[in-house]
Amino acid sequence: MTSAVPLQKAKPQRLWFFIGMALMIYCVLGNWLVLPGYRRHLAHTGGGGDVSELTLIWGVARTIEWMLSFHLGALCLAWAALASAGGGSRTFRRWFAAGAAVWIVLWAIPTLPGPYAAFFASVGVVIVVMVLTVFGRAALTGEPFADARGPEWRIASTFFFALATWDICGLGSVGGILDPDGAARTASQSLVVAQTTKLIVELALAWALLALAAFPRRTAG
């Protein structure tokens, strides 16, 4: 006889999954509802048009609201996946949710201070070390790839990889990297720099979590 408890526990994670899916759908629709108008606004600003600062802030705010739909959707999906890991990961889920919320707030800041060259160089070295750690442990120990500590660490890593993937798309569309000679690229240069900085932080966090997932927890005795 099958117990009804597992089904009851599954309901909240299904709800979070469908909320995340709805946010992802809105994120895709925003490519037609929000992005075209904002790109026209950037092109107009970059072309020297007389646009008030309030109008620019409103355009940026609308775009960030649309961009946040992906981040919040990914958070809901990650939370649903973590919930399926069972009660033993409740503490991890709380810390993950708190850390993800802090990062999303920081991500919403449109500009970030430098120096960028030194920051990118140092974080790049950290990422290389994490890549070597992840593949090196799997190759030298023969243990399952990124599963020694438990699935929740891999889920958290995937969350930040998802955010980095979205930011790469943003650099090509809103940032104007796909149109380097366009006026929108000139108008959004500070946004491009800030977005690229956030991207490398997300990649560093994702690789760090994946590296930690490859090491088993210490056991007493």
Residue 220 is assigned to a structural domain of this protein: no
**Under 8 Å between Cβ of 213 and 174:** no
* Average pLDDT score, the chain: 78
Residue 169 has pLDDT above 60, yes or no: yes
**pLDDT (average), residues 52-57:** 62
Residue 69 has pLDDT above 80, yes or no: yes
Residue 45 is assigned to a structural domain of this protein: yes
Residue 218 is assigned to a structural domain of this protein: no
Residue 113 is assigned to a structural domain of this protein: yes
DSSP 111: -
**pLDDT (average), residues 78-82:** 92
Query: 42-81 burial string, b = 16+ CB within 10 Å, else e?
Result: bbbbbeeeeeeeeeeeebbebbbebbbbbbbbbbbbbbbb
Q: What confidence tens digit (pLDDT) does each residue in 109-168 have?
A: 877 776 778 888 999 999 999 999 888 887 887 776 666 677 888 899 999 999 999 888
Q: CA distances (Å), 8 to each of 27, 122, 144, in order?
A: 30, 47, 31
Residue 125 is assigned to a structural domain of this protein: yes
Residue 99 has pLDDT above 60, yes or no: yes
Residue 30 has pLDDT above 90, yes or no: no
Residue 150 is assigned to a structural domain of this protein: yes
Residue 4 has pLDDT above 70, yes or no: no
Percent of the chain with pLDDT over 70: 68
Residue 104 has pLDDT above 80, yes or no: yes
Residue 219 is assigned to a structural domain of this protein: no
Specify the pLDDT at position 168.
85
What is the tally of structural domains in the chain? 1
Residue 221 is assigned to a structural domain of this protein: no
Distance of alpha carbon 149 from alpha carbon 134, whole angstroms: 13
Parent domain of 58: 5-213
Does 200 or 6 have the greater pLDDT score? 200
**Is the pTM for the entire model greater than 0.85?**
no
Angle between helices 35-46 and 5-33 (to 10 degrees): 40
